[in-house]
A and B are shown apart, each in its own frame.
Chain A
Amino acid sequence: MFLFRLFNSVNLSIRSLFSNLMRSGLTLLGIIIGVSTVIAVISIVNGMNDYVAEKIAVMGPGVFFVEKFGIVRGREDWLKRMRWKNLSINEYEALSKQMMEAEAVAAMLSRSRRITYKDLYISSTSVRGATANYLSVSEIAVEDGRFFTEFEEQRRAHIVVIGSDIKKALFEDVDPIDKIIDIGGVKYKIIGVFETAGSVLGNSQDNFVVIPLKTYLVYYSGLYRRSSWTIGIKIKDPDRMFEAQEEARSILRRVRKIPSNKEDDFSFISPEAVMNFFEEFSGIAFIVLIGISSISLVVGGIVIMNIMLVSVTERTKEIGIRKAIGAKRGDILMQFLIESVLLSLFGGLAGVIAGYLLSQAVAHFSPLPSAVKPWTVFLGVAVASSVGLFFGIYPAWKASKLDPIIALSYEH
């Protein structure tokens, strides 16, 4: 009987909502905006999480990097790290000789330089000097040709492996292998081309070249004192990441002569650390944006309450009639409550659709990715109906409390 009454009330409510379509639409604007923001924000944050996770996978399992700066959390942190001593060949040699957990220890340095081939050029490309085992700490593979060898690195060969952007820009219809390019005034022979890595948040990951580290130190040495080395470590057992980092930590502290009461003056970057950082960052973005959308949900709820109060007043006579023929307080309460829940439910659905379109538009027109998860649809609808339920209580209670005699004699 209760379900049956519920069905009846739903039926009555839908009829009354559709008889006032324009007003219902305007009433729902707040809810629609609120819900669509929630959906869009969640989708974009989700999309970025997926995206970062996917990009981090490129780092490969069981690899971590030692850097001076690492993940900088704000200005204070940056100023502190500025004063740290640069990482240099000393740290690299200590780690590659002493670290038991390491399978390979690679070092790299980088600078931006202009690259020229005949009359074509790229004004700024990342030039990386790397050890010959570079590929063991990077997931990117050489698609064409080959990487350089230990022997070539030792004899400071003028050879280069180029990223796919360089191939695209300078060698459109030509095979780049064995061609000579100019990197910041020095000539190199191309021996390989990397596969395409894609882009992260709109920044291409393929605009780089790799040359032997020793060659790099010769030609860009005026600057190397001021730049800190990045050391990539591939560990033997990916499950022993913690132990490996602890081992590296103690080697580095010894080399850098850090007293036991001082904290580390270097950083580790691992896929986990990047992911943690990103999740922390997106968590904050999430909270801020959810805060903003809650405001529009509350405003939307108040508008619904207002319109329901108007509706109760307009339908005072109807309420009187219903009470005279036997509607109980609960029947009237239920009717108006269902009406406001239904009203906001429609708003919620419209908001879900708008939010979906919004996140798709953002994904299309900006580098931000987006992933609409099915559960966010339920979330949007649930949030909207809760708002309707909560803000519908007072008007419905007011309607149910009307004195039938006064309500019956009400004229508007």
Chain B
Amino acid sequence: MSIIRIQGITKIYQLGDEEVHALRGIDLEINQNEYLAIMGPSGSGKSTLMHILGCLDVPTSGLYDFEGRNIAEMDGNELAEIRNQKIGFVFQNFNLLSQSSAYENVELPLVYAGMSSGKRSNRVMEVINQVGLTDRADHKPNQLSGGQRQRVAIARAMVNKPSIILADEPTGNLDSKTSYEIMKLIKDIHDLGNTIIMVTHEEDIARFCHRIVRLRDGVILSDTKQVPENVPV
């Protein structure tokens, strides 16, 4: 069943007098429980595509159908609601709130969803437990290692039970051992039935995915399925 259907998406930025064509017509269909890597060199448009997929930005033209709703026609508040309910973000530099504990960081999407504090605490502890940080819940980000921070970010991405998890270079700031641990965690989350879209430029990371979409100069170069390798942990 398809979650995301994209047709003829373009994105044009105005950079001074110059028009930058970041995306020049992208067609893409992503199904439930896929594990997809979007790859490409810098300037290929993969970040732009990621932003549009994540409803942080809207395309200049084209159709973006997310679970039957046209994203291109939504206003800021509707997009915020989609981001809150349907999408979980994992970033390269973790993007945690430095003043808040791991628990509070994971809790935040539920706060914006308007869930009561009693219901929140159960759900928050459930996902924190799932990423293996139960005993670190009250630590601030600066008291956690890089791998632990990314686990907090993954917990935050999952806490609202989103339709897709969008990971932007999730291992970009981690050493290879920690990277594999994180990839193993993401694989486990995928195995539970989640849909995962990952942006990366590392072939070493992309080999754990089921499908690889390669971009160059704002168009799709190739879209291939593969048998994923096991994460060596």
Contacts from A to B (Cβ < 8 Å): 1, 4-5, 8, 15-16, 19, 317-318, 320-331, 404-405, 408
Q: Choose among B51, B56, B84, B111 the residue with the greatest number of A CB atoms under 10 Å from its CB.
A: B111
Closest to B81 in A: A326
Q: List 26 contacting pairs A-B, 8 Å CB cutoff, sorted by A.
A: A1-B114, A4-B117, A5-B111, A5-B114, A8-B111, A16-B99, A19-B99, A317-B95, A321-B96, A321-B97, A322-B97, A324-B95, A325-B84, A325-B109, A326-B81, A326-B83, A326-B113, A326-B160, A327-B80, A327-B84, A328-B76, A328-B77, A329-B80, A331-B112, A405-B51, A408-B91
* Minimum CB–CB distance for A314 against chain B, Å: 12
Q: In the complex, what residues of A have CB within 8 A of residue B83's CB?
A: 323-326
- Tell me the chain B residues, 154-191 only, with Cβ under 8 Å from chain A: 156, 160
A136 to B142, CA, bound (A): 84
Contacts A1-B114, A404-B56, A405-B57 known; A326 to B85 CB distance under 8 Å?
A: yes
Q: In the complex, what residues of A have CB within 8 A of residue B97's CB?
A: 318, 321-322
The answer to whether the Cβ of B35 comes within 8 Å of any Cβ in the partner chain is: no
By the criterion CB–CB under 8 Å, are B114 and A326 in contact?
A: no
Complex interface bits, B93-124 against A, C-beta within 8 A gives 1, otherwise 0: 00111010000000011011110110000000
Q: In the complex, what residues of B have CB within 8 A of residue A15's CB?
A: 99
By the criterion CB–CB under 8 Å, are A328 and B108 in contact?
A: no
* Minimum CB–CB distance for B209 against chain A, Å: 23
A267 to B54, CA, bound (A): 85
By the criterion CB–CB under 8 Å, are B89 and A4 in contact?
A: no
By the criterion CB–CB under 8 Å, are A327 and B112 in contact?
A: yes
* Minimum CB–CB distance for B216 against chain A, Å: 22
Closest to A331 in B: B112
* Minimum CB–CB distance for B108 against chain A, Å: 6
By the criterion CB–CB under 8 Å, are A326 and B99 in contact?
A: no
Which listed residue (B56, B96, B116) contacts A405, Cβ 8 A?
B56
Which listed residue (A8, A326, A329) contacts B84, Cβ 8 A?
A326
* Minimum CB–CB distance for A270 against chain B, Å: 66
* Minimum CB–CB distance for B11 against chain A, Å: 11
A327 to B56, CA, bound (A): 12
Q: In the complex, what residues of A have CB within 8 A of residue B56's CB?
A: 323-324, 404-405, 408
Closest to B111 in A: A8
Contacts A1-B114, A331-B112, A405-B51 known; A325 to B156 CB distance under 8 Å?
A: yes
Q: Choose among A317, A320, A328 the residue with the greatest number of B CB atoms under 10 Å from its CB.
A: A328
Q: In the complex, what residues of A have CB within 8 A of residue B109's CB?
A: 325-326
A323 to B112, CA, bound (A): 10
Q: In the complex, what residues of A have CB within 8 A of residue B57's CB?
A: 405
Q: In the complex, what residues of B have CB within 8 A of residue A404's CB?
A: 56
* Minimum CB–CB distance for A315 against chain B, Å: 9
A16 to B99, CA, bound (A): 8
Q: In the complex, what residues of B have CB within 8 A of residue A324's CB?
A: 54, 56, 83, 89, 95
A16 to B104, CA, bound (A): 14
Q: Choose among A5, A317, A321, A322 the residue with the greatest number of B CB atoms under 10 Å from its CB.
A: A321
* Minimum CB–CB distance for B191 against chain A, Å: 24
By the criterion CB–CB under 8 Å, are A325 and B76 in contact?
A: no
CB-CB nearest 7 A-B residue pairs: A326-B84, A326-B112, A328-B80, A1-B114, A325-B109, A321-B95, A326-B83
Contacts A8-B111, A405-B57 known; A323 to B80 CB distance under 8 Å?
A: yes
Q: In the complex, what residues of B have CB within 8 A of residue A322's CB?
A: 97, 108, 112
Q: In the complex, what residues of A have CB within 8 A of residue B77's CB?
A: 328-330
* Minimum CB–CB distance for B92 against chain A, Å: 11
By the criterion CB–CB under 8 Å, are A4 and B95 in contact?
A: no
Q: In the complex, what residues of A have CB within 8 A of residue B111's CB?
A: 5, 8
